Amino acid sequence: MSTAFYFTLVGLALGLIFHVADWMTFTYVLHDDRIELRRALIGRSVKSIPRDRIRGVDVSASLPHRLLGLAIVRIDAGADGGEGELNAVSRHEAERLRRVLLARDGHAPPQRVLARMRPRWYVYAPLSGAYLLTPFAVAGSLLGTLYNLGDDLGLITRERVENFGHDVVGLSTAVVLALVILVLIAMPVMSVIAFTLFNWDFTVRERDGSVIAERGLVTRRSVSLERRRLRGVELIDNPFERLAGVARVGALITGLGDAAHRGRLLPAAPRPVAESLAARVLGPVPAPLIAHPPAARGRR
């Protein structure tokens, strides 16, 4: 094994020790008007986030966190990225923090489900270019990892790379055609798999004066959006989704960082369902939409 391999192992061990020590020296204090995040690993630091500036509270849990009954709490205090993170707190404490940090009064309206992803909607994934290109991203990541691992172990040499290149160039037309067909089949299949992993059981709820979107199979993520900061919703579709009668729903929230992802209310659904969710989130619209006049459309 090469020296780089041992350096990699040492780096991983040091990183693990650092994260464990950082977690053990991290504390937080919840005051009436703010929350303080304190770290004392190397230098002592105190970060104070006023509670009236908090835009949202996200709760996520990767597979190891879920097995241990833990969660990660991310506090958004503005679109400029001013947020704090509480890693590896209990699931119960994470829900309590979200409820307390977003509470503005003592009245908590009952929880109700606004929309829930149905299994047959996962087949809409190939209509999105981002999910359709998933096989290439997965293949690139896998090949890069295998190459780096093989290089560290001394298995990759210049001669072997040249021989592999000659083998690829010498492939027959039938083999190349078969590979192309395989890629064309893999693209929609992998897009559905990736879509399912990210958006499994996508559920939109209304609770404690907030709209909460929960999603994810391996990593479960919950994003809370305050209703009082909700300025509107948008229905999004591309030409392929429009032909299939599919739309996505996003929330327009003031001061929300990474709004394109965190403001997502429905990743893909039949357009009537998307419009119904928009109506439930916004309430009745007082006036119909009016199209721009031809002169205004020409200036865009």
Q: Enumerate residues 6+ apart whose C-beta is below 8 A from 277.
A: 114, 115, 204, 249, 265, 266, 269
Angle 215-60-84 from CA coordinates, rounded to 5°: 135
Would you state the structure tokens that stand for residue 146, as one six-digit string?
A: 């295998």
- pLDDT, one tens digit per residue, over 158-200 is 777 667 667 777 777 888 888 889 888 888 998 999 999 999 9
Query: For the whole model, what pTM was predicted?
Result: 0.74
The predicted pLDDT at position 291 comes to 77
What pLDDT was estimated at residue 113? 92
Express each pLDDT in 210-261 by its tens digit. 899 999 998 999 988 888 888 889 999 999 999 999 999 999 887 666 666 7
Q: Tell me the C-alpha distance between 290 and 9, whole Å.
A: 62
Give CA torsion, residues 53, 279, 259, 228, to 10 deg. 0
